[in-house]
Amino acid sequence: MRIGFLGYGEAARAFHAGLGGPALAHDRLLDADTGAMRAAMLERGASPVALAGLAEADWIFSAVTADQSLVAVTSLLAHLRPGQLLIDINSVSPERKRETATAVTATGATYLDMAVMAPVHPKGHATPVLLAGASADDLLPALLALGFDARVVGSAPGAATAIKMVRSLFVKGLEAITVETLLAAEASDCFEEIYASLSVSFPGLDWDRFAGYQLERTTRHGHRRAAEMRESGATLHALGLHGDLAREIAAVQDAMGDVGPTAGATLAETVQAVLARRGRRH
């Protein structure tokens, strides 16, 4: 079996490292960057190919940014064939996955909705995943044999990602409310009071680790999380719920992503650095 990757960012690289062996890989950055993407592929044993080259893969993992998930697969449709499997691991709304599934199955290829339920490091492809789709039950044994930590949650595309989108509202929302609270506390000259109060009120969160981790995740991955939250907003809106909540979380995540990773020696210094980079010097 030959593996292919549509998009070769962090998730694809982590999956490839776990699965091992050669692979085919296409990423739109192949044509846009200065060779860094091609070098990253070659270093990991992936052969850089044009979209048409993915026709040689038996299984294709679609691992692009959330806003490009349908666009990327649409570009690939002309090169899909019966017998191929497209595994959509993108963090997008159920409706987006249903649209993608309809387009893929029209070519005769098989579509699998896969939701990745935890950070891909350090477990790579063995990170817990949920599966949904008409062929999910049939594909489960092969995935388990390859070392996936997978379970089937539905026979219709969208059932797996629905769980991811709803859960992410809480996880990414908790990140957003934590960093905005700490930033507001510092800007209001009451950081120590707020930090001490929250540590007492929510001791189970282990604030000595938790607060710094939330800041690190949002500054390092804020843009990707923002795209996911916009998809969560679309999910909530389709359910008749308050999708604007997820969109506001996306705005916070985007702002933190603009800051980029920080290297503060202490939590307070990191908060000060983030405030400064966000244009609120204190």
Token couple for 104? 């893929």
> Which segment of 93-97, 173-177, 190-194, 256-260 scores lowest on mean pLDDT?
256-260
The reported pLDDT for the residue numbered 179 is 96
CA 140 to chain centre: 22
Q: What percent of the chain has pLDDT over 70?
A: 98
Q: What's the pLDDT tens digit per position in 27-79? A: 999 987 779 999 999 999 999 999 999 999 999 999 999 999 999 999 999 99
Domains of the chain, residue spans: 3-157, 163-277
Q: What is the mean pLDDT of residues 152-163?
A: 98
Per-residue pLDDT band at 280 (split at 50, 70, 90): low
Are 213 and 256 a contacting pair, CB within 8 Å? no
| pLDDT tens, position by position, 167-183 | 999 999 999 999 999 99
Residue 282 predicted with pLDDT over 90:
no
Strand order in the sheet with 46-48: 46-48, 23-26, 3-6, 59-62, 85-88, 110-116, 128-132, 149-154
- 145-158 CB burial, b ≥16 within 10 A, e <16: ebebebebbbebbb
* Whole-number pLDDT of residue 265: 64
Tell me how far apart the alpha carbons of residues 261 and 182 are, in angstroms, rounded to a whole number: 17
Predicted pLDDT of residue 266:
82
Residue 11 has pLDDT above 90, yes or no: yes
pLDDT, tens only, 98-147: 999 999 999 999 999 999 999 999 999 999 999 999 999 999 999 999 99
pLDDT digits (tens, 9 = 90+) for 189-217: 999 999 999 999 999 999 999 999 999 99
CATH number of 163-277: 1.10.1040.10
Average pLDDT over the chain, rounded to an integer: 94
CATH code of domain 3-157: 3.40.50.720
Residue 262 has pLDDT above 90, yes or no: no
The SS3 call for residue 121 is: coil
For residues 3-31, give the mean pLDDT: 96
Instruction: Give the bridge partners for 110, in sequence order.
Output: 85
Select from 111, 114, 45 the least CA-distant residue to 80. Answer: 111
Distance CA 204, CA 232 (A): 27
pLDDT at 281 over 60: no
The pLDDT value recorded for residue 83 is 94
